Amino acid sequence: MRILFFGTKSYDEKFFKEFLEKENYHDLEIHFIEPNLTADTARLADGYEAVCAFVNMDLGTATIDILHECGVKLILMRCAGYNNVDLDEAAKLGITVMRVPSYSPEAVAEHAMALVLTANRHMHKAYVKGRENDFSLSGLMGVNLYGKTAGIIGTGKIGAAMARLCHGFGMRVIGYDTHQNPSLDFVEYVDFDHILAESDLISLHCPLFESNYHMINKEAIDKMKDGVILVNTSRGALIKTADLVQGIRDGKFFAVGLDVYEEETGSVYEDMSEQILSHSTMARLLSFPNVMVTSHQGFLTKEALEAISQTTLDNAQAFVEGRKNGNELCA
Ligand code: NAD
């Protein structure tokens, strides 16, 4: 099966090629290209049976229709989230969509904790100050995590890993989820209003659905403690950015760490250092000293990339052999 791999980065090619050779996936041939998959680039898939795509690409109705016209039968998402894929359209056209449901929850949770620690203890500022020979302590005061309350919204695989990290820091851990995770016996489940009101740190780990779009909005922010730390490594649109910006201006947040943000499609993973920012919301977020933004990189560890490559190739192999392996989103 010929697979067109969209949005290739050097690390993708390295890990996928390594596993292709090591595991003898003889039925699979991958062609790596740089452009992201969108309705404008989908025609490149002409003659390929499968495409491989990622979280930052646009697999809406128009893209899926073009892929179908090109003869694509399989979409391999090399990620867990799939809110950017029109699954109904794919199912209607008989295209199978597969994903990597779990690769390394710890990779994302450890990044969430890195955001908490960096934003709280101002590591980014300390690094820059030190390099300028400025060892003064102004602007570097943080707060202790020990003894505080961590509120985990979404206690699935990544949320559970984050809950364990917070527990290890000596925090009381409370959780909000539509389904409770029985493995987290140290987590006290509360309702949404209570998690907002009681948490000193709020970390978002639920998938994005229409039902929880902008779940963190003005009303939710008003219910939070003053001086709360908010971290989002899940999906940007869980937070209404305009309301977050107002909350930051009002002094509600001690620190905010964002690995994902509403305007990321089109800009994430790109070097735009020589461009003038066209999105005013991002410019505003970047202007706040207590906001730390990273580039949807929670997944970016060696272990996670290995697991992503192997599972994606396993998915393709299962499809070739006509087997279902449980990673189908629609088939
Ligand atoms: P998961 O399916 O294991 O867990 C998600 C949990 O959220 C489940 O327990 C579910 O019941 C809960 N949930 C669903 N709707 C909810 C709601 N409205 N309120 C509260 N909880 C709700 O998923 P996971 O592997 O832990 O991944 C979570 C999310 O992390 C993904 O959907 C994705 O958006 C994001 N993610 C980000 C990165 C990154 O690089 N930053 C990488 C992978 C995944």
**Strand, coil or helix: 204:** strand
Q: How far apart are CA 313 and CA 324, in angstroms?
A: 14
How does pLDDT run across 185-195, given as a tens digit for each residue?
A: 999 999 999 99
User: C-alpha angle 161/196/151, rounded to 5°?
Assistant: 15
Task: Kindly report each contact of residues 300-303 with a partner whose C-beta sits within 8 Å and lies 24 or more positions away, as own/partner.
Answer: 300/11, 300/107, 300/111, 301/104, 301/107, 301/110, 303/104, 303/106, 303/107
Tokens of 319: 């499809």
Contact of 58 with 83, CB cutoff 8 Å: no
Q: Which of 88-97, 167-176, 263-272, 302-311 has the lowest mean pLDDT?
A: 263-272
Task: Kindly report each contact of residues 52-55 with a partner whose C-beta sits within 8 Å and lies 24 or more positions away, as own/partner.
Answer: 52/3, 52/4, 52/5, 52/6, 52/76, 52/77, 52/78, 52/312, 53/6, 53/7, 53/77, 53/78, 54/6, 54/7, 54/78, 54/79, 55/79, 55/81, 55/84, 55/296
**Percentage of residues in the chain with pLDDT exceeding 90?**
88
Contact of 241 with 215, CB cutoff 8 Å: no
Task: Say which CATH topology domain 2-103+301-320 has.
Answer: Rossmann fold (3.40.50)
**More reliable by pLDDT, 275 or 55:** 55
Contact of 155 with 177, CB cutoff 8 Å: yes
pLDDT of residue 270: 75
Indicate the residue type of 136: S
How does pLDDT run across 247-277, given as a tens digit for each residue?
A: 999 999 999 999 999 877 666 677 778 877 7
pLDDT of residue 265: 66
Residue 267 phi, psi (nearest 5): -115, -30
Ligand 1 centroid–CA 59 distance in Å is 20
Instruction: Exactly one of 43, 296, 303, 323 is catalytic; name it.
Output: 296
Q: Which architecture, in CATH terms, is 105-293?
A: 3-Layer(aba) Sandwich (3.40)
Please say if 284 is a catalytic residue: no
How does pLDDT run across 15-42, given as a tens digit for each residue?
A: 999 999 887 788 999 999 999 999 999 9
In a 13 Å sphere around the CA of 321, the CA atoms on its Cβ side amount to 11
Q: How far apart are CA 307 and CA 302, in angstroms?
A: 9
Please say if 264 is a catalytic residue: yes
Q: Which residues line ligand 1 (CB under 6 A)?
A: 80-81, 102, 105, 108, 153-159, 176-179, 205-208, 212, 233-235, 259-260, 296, 298-299
Please say if 249 is a catalytic residue: no
Q: What are the extents of the domains in the chain?
A: 2-103+301-320, 105-293
Q: How far apart are CA 115 and CA 109, in angstroms?
A: 10
Instruction: Exactly one of 264, 284, 321, 323 is catalytic; name it.
Output: 264
How does pLDDT run across 240-249, given as a tens digit for each residue?
A: 999 999 999 9
Instruction: Select from 118, 54, 114 the least CA-distant residue to 85.
Output: 54
**Strand, coil or helix: 15:** helix
Question: Which atom of ligand 1 is closest in space to residue 155's alpha carbon?
Answer: 9
Ligand 1 centroid–CA 211 distance in Å is 14
Ligand 1 centroid–CA 161 distance in Å is 12
| Residue with the two structure tokens 């950017």 | 84
Q: Do domains 2-103+301-320 and 105-293 have the same CATH topology?
A: yes
